[in-house]
């Protein structure tokens, strides 16, 4: 009764804005086709699902709270939401803020995460090498701000949205990454000027499955299938496999976290659980050359 009206209002409030430049927050996206579509066909981009809209809103609230905490701790925060523009490469962006630490000014970006992601991010290396493409986009965003602001270092503050815990990561200006991003911007600009849409990346479920232009790209992916099967029993098994896969991923994630947290502890009594552990030496051996069938299942539509 009440909740439905709130959600309906939030959906109606959201508007897809025109995209006339390469946004610093998105230039690290791995698909150039997406970045070109973002500028040429922005009006055809699907609206984010309601869950994402709620996450965006929560992220903004957390950002303001972190900025207040920084100021309450005695630091000076300046230039909140300052706009940057690099006309030569058609790059724009809005930085969260800048913070003055020991008389030095640092560009500042605030990110809220799940507890799982929060525990996994502890250094710049974790950002660069994350399994999630959207986390790998963070260094790209900061590097562009550093280049546009002529700074050598920027600060990320990450907040666990469940516990409220904070951590900071200082990112150095990465000239190699910066050069890659500028070259990417030049490619996008040429495509936009010629109104040419480049080829997309090979289908990736995490990237393509949630893309706002999936309705444009996924039909093409389906047309490329070699064999079309009509087998209800097989489809039922694949559907079930897909459901169980998510549970296995959660199990593996928790298993890795627990092993790390309990490493070196021989015997523990936790609630109704007796947890034991020991160090095991793995013998080295060579695997003989062999052949095997590699299978990959990805959902390309809902």
- Determine the average pLDDT of the residues in 25-42: 93
- Determine the average pLDDT of the residues in 97-114: 92
Q: 281 in a domain, yes or no?
A: no
Query: What is the 8-class DSSP label of residue 286?
Result: P
Q: 201 in a domain, yes or no?
A: yes
CB 201 within 8 A of CB 30: yes
Range of the domain at 50: 2-221
Query: What's the whole-model pTM score?
Result: 0.75
CATH of the domain at 136: 3.90.320.10
Confidence of residue 184 (pLDDT cuts 50, 70, 90): very high
Q: Under DSSP, is residue 290 helix (H, G, I), strand (E, B) or coil?
A: coil
Taking the C-alpha atoms of residue 196 and residue 35, their distance in angstroms, rounded to an integer, is 12
Q: 179 in a domain, yes or no?
A: yes
Q: 168 in a domain, yes or no?
A: yes
Q: Residues of 4-17 as b/e, b for ≥16 C-beta within 10 angstroms? A: eeeeeeeeeeeeee
Q: 32 in a domain, yes or no?
A: yes
- For the chain, how many structural domains are there in total? 1
Residues forming a β-bridge with 275: 268
CB 18 within 8 A of CB 39: no
Residue 223 clears pLDDT 50, i.e. is over it: no
Q: 106 in a domain, yes or no?
A: yes
């Amino acid at each position: 009764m009440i909740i439905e009206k709130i959600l309906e209002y939030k959906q109606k409030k959201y508007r897809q804005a025109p995209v006339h430049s390469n946004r610093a927050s998105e230039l690290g996206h791995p698909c150039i086709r997406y970045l070109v579509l973002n500028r040429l066909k922005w009006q055809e981009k699907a609206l984010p699902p309601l869950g994402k809209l709620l996450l965006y809103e929560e992220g903004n609230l957390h950002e303001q709270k972190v900025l207040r905490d920084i100021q309450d701790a005695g630091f000076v925060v300046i230039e909140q939401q300052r706009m940057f523009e690099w006309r030569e490469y058609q790059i724009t962006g809005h930085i969260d803020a800048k913070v003055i630490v020991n008389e030095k000014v640092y560009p500042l970006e605030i990110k809220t995460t799940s507890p799982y992601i929060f525990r996994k991010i502890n250094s710049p290396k974790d950002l660069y090498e994350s399994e999630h493409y959207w986390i790998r986009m963070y260094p790209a965003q900061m590097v562009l701000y550093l280049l546009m602001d002529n700074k050598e270092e920027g600060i990320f503050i990450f907040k666990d949205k469940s516990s409220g815990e904070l951590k900071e990561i200082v990112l150095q200006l990465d000239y190699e990454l910066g050069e890659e991003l500028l070259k990417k911007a030049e490619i996008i600009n040429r495509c936009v000027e010629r109104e040419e849409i480049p080829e997309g990346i090979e289908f990736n479920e995490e990237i393509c499955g949630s893309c706002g232009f999936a309705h444009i790209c996924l039909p093409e992916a389906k047309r490329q299938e070699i064999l079309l099967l009509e087998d209800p029993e097989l489809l039922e098994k694949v559907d079930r496999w897909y459901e169980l896969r998510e549970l296995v991923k959660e199990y593996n994630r928790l298993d890795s976290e627990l092993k790390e947290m309990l490493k070196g502890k021989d015997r523990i009594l936790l609630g109704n659980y007796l947890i034991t552990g020991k160090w095991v030496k793995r013998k080295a051996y060579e695997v003989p050359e062999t052949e095997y069938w590699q299978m990959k299942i990805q959902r390309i539509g809902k």
